[in-house]
Amino acid sequence: MRLTDITIRSLRAPEQGARIYTDQLIPGFGVRVSQGGTKSFVLTHGARHERETIGRVGIVALADARAEAKRRLAEYTLGKAKIKTVPWTVALEEYLAEVKRKRKPRTHAFYKYALNRHFRYGDTKLSDVSPHDLHKSLARLSATPAEQQRAFVVVRAFIRWAHRKHYLDRSPMERMQSPHSYVPRERVLTNDELKTIWHACEDDTFGKIVKLLILTGQRRGEITNLTGSMVGEDTITIPAWLAKNSRKHTIPLGPMAKALLTPAVASDACYFPAVGKTTPFCGYSKCKAALDKRSGVSDWTLHDLRRTFASGLASVGVQLPVIERLLNHVSGSFAGIVGVYQRYDFMPEMRNAIERWEAHVRTLALNHR
């Protein structure tokens, strides 16, 4: 059959399933008519007779559909990369499975949350998701700039992965710019602010986490995920799978920090579980807002306590290499060849640093009015 606008209008829907009417002019090109009467231009090609949809009749003109079919057949004949059209959900499932194998559990959890929550394209073909679609999804987050930036980074990683897998011929994000440029935070809490926050912490899970962040300078996720097996008599050990840089990290505990980890728990039990659960604590937003209200200190984040810890150690005379060991940094003093051959653990120096820091915090706490 030679397809024309008139013959296409006269094509009847089958009683069951769908039927394809092929065109005499272009091999594999035709019109698919569904049981419900929907008509779409399709192209069947290759040894496996793979079928792909070009567009809906009425939305795409016959001449344009023929031209597109010729273009695709020419690419396949010349041996150019053949794009495998897959639904967004199928590609996303494959991507998240790969992230789960290669990245840390919390990274996988965040990627899964961000992509499923902010980019809901369902069974839309991955190649049909346009720059406009992505812009629209990101624009919905304009009221929360930090969340918008994180969503941009995550979806860009997914799109780049899809492009490498040949699920996309061209990235829809190639001309998209980051919605917000990264500006490192510089906030360091003053002694008065630190003192006020310490006393505003209640004797609950969140309060203990905040105090441990102040006393140890470790990352929030590392402290929150502490289990009994990670806490020794006077040390805590962050396993490689939990540490941000994937390096096992052991630091000493002072008396104040040890008191926050008493009594001991089972080796596989969380020290700081969520309310009524065995999973780690996760109610940060509400608890942090309540702490800000009680303390009167604002415009600070829990990660700022890590910067405050480092700056505070320097103020009480601790040397930079010791501070970097306590923070588990692999750059700075231990970058390059030094990191390869320097294997001293600095444990005595770290113990001395923690003693100085706890003495400083204890003085602030006792002088509270």
Q: What is the pLDDT of residues 283-319, one digit of tens each?
A: 898 999 999 999 999 999 999 999 999 999 999 999 9
Residues 6+ apart with CB under 8 A from 160: 171, 173
Q: What is the DSSP string of 31-55?
A: EEEETT--EEEEEEETTTTEEEEEE
Supply the pLDDT for residue 79: 66
Residue 130: name the closest of 98, 175, 92 by CA: 175
Average pLDDT of the segment spanning 189-194: 96
Q: CA 143, CA 184: separation in Å to the nearest integer? A: 20
User: What 3-state class would DSSP assign to 280?
Assistant: strand
Q: Tokens 């480092």 belong to which residue?
A: 310
The CA–CA distances, whole Å, from 6 to 9, 34, 62, 66, 81 equal 5, 18, 11, 16, 35
pTM over 0.85: no
Q: Average model confidence (pLDDT) for the chain?
A: 90
Supply the pLDDT for residue 45: 87
- Which structure tokens are listed for 104? 């840390």
Residue 40: name the closest of 48, 52, 49 by CA: 52
State which fold the 191-366 domain adopts.
hpI Integrase; Chain A (1.10.443)
Average pLDDT of the segment spanning 157-175: 92
Band (pLDDT 50/70/90 cuts) for residue 366 is confident
Band (pLDDT 50/70/90 cuts) for residue 369 is low
Band (pLDDT 50/70/90 cuts) for residue 189 is very high
Q: What is the pLDDT of residues 337-361, one digit of tens each?
A: 445 445 577 899 999 999 999 999 9
HSE toward the beta carbon, residue 192, CA cutoff 13 A = 4
Q: Tokens 């440029």 belong to which residue?
A: 181
Supply the pLDDT for residue 338: 45
Q: Are 228 and 244 in contact (CB under 8 A)?
A: no
pLDDT for 36 beyond 80: yes
Supply the pLDDT for residue 236: 96
Supply the pLDDT for residue 84: 64
Strands 18-22 and 249-252, by their bridges, are: unpaired
Q: What is the pLDDT of residues 40-85, one digit of tens each?
A: 999 998 877 888 899 999 999 999 999 999 998 888 877 654 556 7
Overall size of the chain counted in residues? 369
CATH architecture label of 5-77: 2-Layer Sandwich (3.30)
Supply the pLDDT for residue 209: 97
Q: Tokens 């794009």 belong to which residue?
A: 83
